[in-house]
Structure 1
């Protein structure tokens, strides 16, 4: 496979054993918090309300980042009918 990708074997092994980046770790933490905020709302909050809830928890994340994380986790808000 290394020949097809034009990389060295030692480079591919080094890449596999490399620790996750700080951005990837933060994204994983954000996923957990977004899932918690969504579940706490009985799956009714959209990305705007989830973003507001994260702000109340002192978690810094933009609304578009929250939106993309929710999309990645397949979280869709279900508004209850009156």
Structure 2
């Protein structure tokens, strides 16, 4: 069994914390449903233009888990106006 995690820190345009939370909730819900991963906001709670998301997956295959996490990040970058500024992998 492989447990693989990724924390991404990103910047995006947001007018308020309410707007930020709306965007993050949409992103977390769609990524979780599409890729079968667990997603949670892990930091930068009070910053309007930055956020941290933790994404995790359990799998029998390391390569499959890594591929799903990379696809999840690519989905976020393609469908939301964000710029990833840091990625940290956890095994």
Q: TM-score, normalised by structure 2?
A: 0.33
Higher relative contact order (CA 8 A, sep 6+): 2
Between structures 1 and 2, the one with greater strand share:
2
Larger gyration radius, structure 1 or structure 2: 1
Q: Which has the higher helix share?
A: 1
TM-score with structure 1 setting the length = 0.35
